[in-house]
Amino acid sequence: MADGSKADANRGAPSPTGKPMSSAEVKAVQDLVDSWLSRTLAAGTLLTAVERDPGVQAGEHRWLVSVLGESKDTFTVWFNLRQRMLHYETYVMPAPEENHERFFEYLLRQNRQLVGASFCLGGEDAIYLVGAVPAATVDDRELDRLLGSLWDAVDRCFQSALRIGFTTRLGDR
């Protein structure tokens, strides 16, 4: 490449220069994500459904991915590709009903152990797990890592957070 970057010419991915990607580069990453999701869904081990969300702003591409969990039976990951970044998030649970300080302390402490994602508050103080990576770094391996990290964080933290924030509702379970 003329600018000396190390873009992978075989997959048509953009170089990580920090500049907005061209339409062709966005399309290459979009195709890569589509292909990875199709293969992962076909494997039948982790994903139960994949949908493209047509209702996004111009220049954005969004996928809704249903994931099988263990401590939380299923959860949905939203992947949102923009010109510079691939954003991802999953809804974890509603705002806690009780033990607010202990609940949020628990999640903040968990954030220190997470790689590439963090717990945060969303609408109505619901709990989300969110992150983003430069679109230029997206490949099959990175997508595997992202999904695996989200799966692990939800699986590892869900039950404990639920017990702390919803003690009365759960009773002696």
pLDDT digit string (tens) for the chain, length 173 residues:
333 333 333 344 444 556 789 989 999 999 999 999 999 999 999 999 999 987 777 767 999 999 999 999 999 999 999 989 999 999 999 999 999 999 999 999 999 999 999 999 998 999 999 999 999 999 999 999 999 999 999 999 999 999 999 999 988 55
**Cβ-contact 99, 87 below 8 angstroms:** no
Question: Is residue 87 included in any domain, yes or no?
Answer: yes
Question: Does residue 15 fall inside a structural domain?
Answer: no
Q: Is residue 172 part of a domain?
A: no
What pLDDT is stored for residue 1 in this prediction? 31
Of the CA atoms within 13 Å of residue 60, those in its CB half-sphere come to 14
3 in a domain, yes or no? no
CATH number of the domain that 124 lies in? 3.30.1460.10
Prediction pTM value? 0.84
Can you tell me the distance from the alpha carbon of 173 to that of 169, in angstroms, rounded to the nearest whole number?
10
Number of domains in the chain: 1
